[in-house]
Structure 1
Amino acid sequence: MEFIQILDSRIRPGGLVEWVPAVPGGLGAWHRDPRGTSHNHEHHLRVAHDYRVRTQREGGREAWLGVAVEFDEQISVPAVRGAILAWINRHEVLRTHVTLTGDRTDRYTTDPGTVHLRMSRIGWYNDPTLLIEQVAGSFDRATAPTHWPAYRFATVARAHSFTLLFAADHSLVDGYSLLNAQAELRELYRAAVERRPPELPPTGSYIDFSSVEREAADAADQRHTAVAVWTEFLAGGQLPAFDLLPAPDEDAPARDHAPAQPSHTTVLLDAEATRALNRRCTDLGGSLIGGILAAAALVYRRDSGADRFATLMPRHTRNHVEFHGALGWFVGLAPVTVDVSDDPDFPTALERVMVSLDRAREGAALPLLRLAQILDFDPEPKFVVSFMDTRAVPGADTADAGAARALRSHAYADDEVYVWINRTPNGLRMHSRFPADRPDRHASTIIQRFLDDLGMLLARIAGEE
C-alpha cells in the first residue's frame, strides 16, 4: 500500500462530491468530557494554535493523513452516506473535539447517531491535475485541529467506478489507522449496499486510551526508566538532526516560512528479495528492521563521517487488543543510536542496533512531550525512520495491488527528514520527505543520494543470503 503525498497521487477524473459532517446546534449541543487529552494531541494542537496566532494564517501547517479507496462498481449514494455515518459512530475520536483555554485543555464529545452529513456537489473534473489540486486544497482547509470536524470525506464517481477519500488531522489518526480504514470503509459500504450488519470486530476508543496514558505520563518523573534512556540519547541536550544536511547560508535572505517539502517514493525490494533480507538478518541474530537501521547507519557513517547514527523510530502503543482496530494517534517515539566510529561491518552494526532497539523500547514508554517537559528539550523531531509491517492487515493484498492508497499532506520544515519503510505483501516500499532546495542550500540531492545508497546496500545484503 503506497503512502504518498497527495499531489503525487492519482485520482481518475469524475464527479467530485464532498461529505461534510455536522451536528445540529454545533458544539453547544455536545457534552463536556472529563477524559484527558493525550500529550501528542495537546502538543500538536498548541503548535497549530501558536502558528495561527503568530502568522494570522491557517495555511502552512497542514498535518493530515488520509486514505483513498477504489471501488470497481457504480456508486450508491445512500450506501456511501450509510458507510461514512457508521464509521463515525464506530470511532469516538471522530465525535470529539479539544479546545485550548490557557494552560488547560477542554474536551467535548457527542453521542453516536448525532452526526449528520451534508452532501456538497463540487463538479465534474476531466483534468486529473485540477481534480487532485481541488481535493488537496479542500482537505488542507478542512483538517485544522483548532476546529471540528478536523476531517473531511469526498467521493469521485464515474460510470462504473468511484473513489472514496478521507483525510483527518494527525491528532485523530496515525499510520495504522489508515491501514485499518481502507478495509473498514470497504466493508461498511458493502454492508450498506447489501443491507446487512457489517462484519467488523468491536473496537475501543482512543479517548479512553488517551485519558489513561495521560494520567500515567503526568505521574512520571525523573525516576522513570524512559528518562534514563533519553538522558543517554540526547546529544547536547537536543534531539538529533540529519547531519548530512548542509547548513544554510547565514547571509541568505530570511524567509517568512519554509516551502513545502519534496517527497520521494520507491520500491526497495520485491517480496522475494525482502524475504531473503529478512533471513539474512535473522540468521545473524537480528530482525528485518534491525537490518534496515544497520544499513542506514553504515551509509550515514560513510557519507557524513559521524561517529554515531541517531534517529527516532515511531512505535505503536496499541498494546491491548481492544485498540488494535481503533482510529487514533497511538504512537510513541523510540530513541535509536548506533556507534559507527570504528566503521563496523554489517553483522557488527546489526548486533549494535538490536541492543539499541531493546533499550529504545523502554524509551518509548513515555510520550515525547512529557519527556521534553522533564528533560527540557525541544520536542520537534528532526530525523525519523519509521517501519511498519502491513501484511497482516485485512485487505492488505488488494490494497497493495492498487485498491487503496494512504495519503499525507504537505509538510513545511527546513530541518527535518522523515523516512517511512513499509513491508507489504509485494515487498519493501520506502517513502520520504525532506527539506526543499534553496539557492544557498541544495539538500534534496544529498538526501536522495543517501536514500539511493541505502536501497542499493539493502539489495546487496539480501543477495548475500
Structure 2
Amino acid sequence: MEFTQFLDAKVRPGGLAEWIPAVPGGLGSWHRDPRGTSHNHEQHLRAAHDYRLRTQREGGREAWLGLAVEFDEQISLAAIRTAILGWINRHEVLRTHVTLVGEDTARYTTDPGTVHLRMTRIGWYQRAELLMEQIGGSFDRATTPLHWPAYRFATVARAHSFTLLFAADHSLVDGYSLINAQYELRELYAAAVARRAPHLPPTGSYIDFSGAERTEADAADDRHTAVAAWQEFLGGRPELPPFAVVPAADGLPSDPHDPSTPAQRSRTQRLLDDDAAEALARRCTDLGGSLVGGILAAAAQVYRAHSGVDRFATLMPRHTRNHARFHGALGWFVALAPVTIDVSDDPDFPTALERIMVSLDHAKEGAALPLLRLAEILGFTPEPKFVVSFMDTRAVPGAAAADEGAAQALRSHAYADDEFYLWVNRTPGGLRMHARFPAPAAYPGLDAILQGFVDDFADLLASIARDG
C-alpha cells in the first residue's frame, strides 16, 4: 500500500460529500475519564496549543494521517453511515477527547452508540486537483487535536464506484492503524450492504493502553535501562541528532510551527519488486542480519558518502502493540529506538550490517520509554530530526489488494527545514519508499542534494539484491 502525501494521491473526480461526527449536547454530555493521557498525545497537544498562542491561528499545524479506500460498486449512503458509525463504536479512541488544564490533562469519553453522523453534500468535481484541494483543506481544518472530533470522513461517488476517505490527527492513529483500517472499513461496509454482522475480531482500546503506559513511564527514573541507552546515543548533546546531509540553517527559519517555513517536499516510489525484495532479505539473512538491518546499513553507507560524518545516528519507530488485544486497535502505539553506528572507516555492507544489528539489539532498550518522558529525565529537546521507519504489511488482511491500488495511506503536509523522514514498507508487491525532506526554498541546491541521497539509497539496495 502506498504511503503518500495527500495532494500527491490519486482520487478520481466525482460527487463529494463530507461525513462529520457529532454528539447531541456536545462535550457537556460526556463523562470525565480518569485514564491517563499518553506522553505522545500530551506532547502533540501542547505543541498545537503553543502554535495557536504564538500565531493567533485557531487549531494546530497540520499533522494528520489518513486513508483512501476504493470500492468498485455504486455507493449506498445507508451502508456508509452504518459502516462509519460501526467503526467509531469499535474504536474508543474516536470517542474520547483530551484537554489541557494547566500542567495537567483532562480526558472526556462518550459511550458507544452516542455518536451520530451529519452528511453534507459539497458538490460535483470534474477536475481531480480541485477535488483534492477541497478535501485537503477540509481535513487540515478538521483534524486539530484541540477539539473533538479531530477526524473527518469524506466520500467521492461516481456511477459505478466510490472512494471513502478518512483523516485523523496523529494523536489518534499511527501507520499500523491505517494498514488495519483499510480492511476493517471495507468489511464493515460489506456487512452493512448484506445486512449481516461484520467478521472482525474484538479489539482493545488505546485509552486503556495510554493509561497503563503513562503510569509506568511516570514511575521510571534515571535508573531505567532505557535511560542508559539514550545517554549513550545523545553523548551529552541537548538535541536529537540532525540529518547531516542538510546544511546548517544559516539564519533561516527552523521552527516547524513558524508560518513562514515552507511545506516539505515528498517522494514516493517502489524500490524493489517482490522477487528483488526477497533476494535482498536473503542476502541480509546470509550475512547474519535482517531486512530491516540491511535497509539501515545501506542508509548508513549512503549517509557517510554524502555527509562525510563519522557517526550514523537515526531514530527508528517501534510499535508498542505488545499485547494481542491491541494488534487491531486504532491509536498512536509508537516508541522511538535510538540507532547509531561508527562509519568513520567507510564500512562495506557486511560490516555496516553487523554493526547495525548490534545497535538494533541495544536500541530495543531505548524504546522502552516514551520520548517525552526520556526528555524529562535527561533534559534534551524531544524533536526528532532524522527518522528511518520500517513496516511489513504483508500479514494484514486485504494487503495484496491494497498494494495493487485498492487503498492508499495518506499524510498531511509537514513544515520543517531541518527534518528528514524516510519510510520503507515491505508489502506484497515488494519494497516501497516514501520520504519527506526540506523544500528547495529553505536552502539553494538542497533539492538536488537530497534527491541524490535518495537515488543512491535506492540504487544501493537494488545492487545488493541483484549482485550481493
TM-score by length of 1: 0.98
Match of 1:393 in 2: 396
Q: Could you tell me how far apart the structure 2 residues matched to 1:46 and 1:249 are?
A: 28
Match of 1:31 in 2: 31
Asked if 1:268 is matched to 2:265, the reply is no
- Out of 108-117 and 260-269, give the one that drifted further: 260-269
Match of 2:416 in 1: 413
Residue by residue over 1:203-224, the C-alpha shift from the partner in whole angstroms, topping out at 9 and shown as x without a partner, is: 0000000000000000000000
- Residues 251, 259 of structure 1: alpha-carbon distance in 2 compared, 3 angstrom cutoff: closer
> 2:59·2:146 contact (CA, 8 Å) conserved in 1?
no
Q: Could you tell me how far apart the structure 2 residues matched to 1:252 and 1:75 are?
A: 46
Q: Could you tell me how far apart the structure 2 residues matched to 1:163 and 1:439 are?
A: 35
Q: Could you tell me how far apart the structure 1 residues matched to 2:398 and 2:113 are?
A: 28
DSSP-derived class of the 1:282 partner: helix
- Residues 446, 206 of structure 1: alpha-carbon distance in 2 compared, 3 angstrom cutoff: same
Match of 1:123 in 2: 123
Runs of 5+ consecutive residues of structure 2 not aligned to the other structure: none
Q: Could you tell me how far apart the structure 2 residues matched to 1:343 and 1:241 are?
A: 20
Asked if 1:443 is matched to 2:423, the reply is no
Equivalent of 2:334, from 312, 328, 331? 331
Residue by residue over 1:290-342, the C-alpha shift from the partner in whole angstroms, topping out at 9 and shown as x without a partner, is: 00100110111111111110000000000000000000000000000011111
- Cα RMSD, aligned residues only: 1.4
Match of 2:357 in 1: 354
- Residues 5, 403 of structure 1: alpha-carbon distance in 2 compared, 3 angstrom cutoff: same
Asked if 1:244 is matched to 2:245, the reply is yes
> 1:48·1:61 contact (CA, 8 Å) conserved in 2?
yes
- Out of 335-344 and 250-259, give the one that drifted further: 250-259
Q: Could you tell me how far apart the structure 2 residues matched to 1:127 and 1:287 are?
A: 45
Residue by residue over 1:250-303, the C-alpha shift from the partner in whole angstroms, topping out at 9 and shown as x without a partner, is: 389997531111100011111000000000000000000000100110111111
- Residues 391, 162 of structure 1: alpha-carbon distance in 2 compared, 3 angstrom cutoff: same
Amino acid at match of 1:119: M
Q: Could you tell me how far apart the structure 2 residues matched to 1:59 and 1:327 are?
A: 22
Match of 1:305 in 2: 308
Q: Could you tell me how far apart the structure 2 residues matched to 1:26 and 1:259 are?
A: 36
Match of 1:171 in 2: 171
DSSP-derived class of the 1:46 partner: helix
Q: Could you tell me how far apart the structure 2 residues matched to 1:321 and 1:140 are?
A: 33
Q: Could you tell me how far apart the structure 1 residues matched to 2:62 and 2:453 are?
A: 27
Runs of 5+ consecutive residues of structure 1 not aligned to the other structure: none
> 1:249·1:440 contact (CA, 8 Å) conserved in 2?
no
Match of 2:145 in 1: 145
> 1:280·1:464 contact (CA, 8 Å) conserved in 2?
no
User: 1:374, CA displacement in angstroms?
Assistant: 0.3
Match of 2:159 in 1: 159
Match of 2:381 in 1: 378
User: 1:445, CA displacement in angstroms?
Assistant: 1.6
Match of 2:366 in 1: 363
Match of 2:214 in 1: 214
TM-score by length of 2: 0.98
> 1:4·1:265 contact (CA, 8 Å) conserved in 2?
yes
Amino acid at match of 1:409: S
Asked if 1:422 is matched to 2:425, the reply is yes
Residue by residue over 1:439-463, the C-alpha shift from the partner in whole angstroms, topping out at 9 and shown as x without a partner, is: 7533222111111100100111111
- Residues 120, 324 of structure 1: alpha-carbon distance in 2 compared, 3 angstrom cutoff: same
Match of 1:100 in 2: 100
DSSP-derived class of the 1:238 partner: coil
Following superposition, which runs of at least 4 residues in structure 1 exceed 6 angstroms of deviation?
A: 251-255
Q: Could you tell me how far apart the structure 1 residues matched to 2:353 and 2:273 are?
A: 22
Amino acid at match of 1:296: A
> 1:73·1:161 contact (CA, 8 Å) conserved in 2?
yes
DSSP-derived class of the 1:290 partner: helix
Match of 2:61 in 1: 61
Asked if 1:341 is matched to 2:315, the reply is no
User: 1:10, CA displacement in angstroms?
Assistant: 1.0
- Residues 385, 155 of structure 1: alpha-carbon distance in 2 compared, 3 angstrom cutoff: same
DSSP-derived class of the 1:112 partner: coil
DSSP-derived class of the 2:441 partner: coil
> 1:417·1:435 contact (CA, 8 Å) conserved in 2?
yes
Residue by residue over 1:394-440, the C-alpha shift from the partner in whole angstroms, topping out at 9 and shown as x without a partner, is: 10000000000000000101110000000000000000101111275
**Number of matched residues?**
465
Match of 1:433 in 2: 436
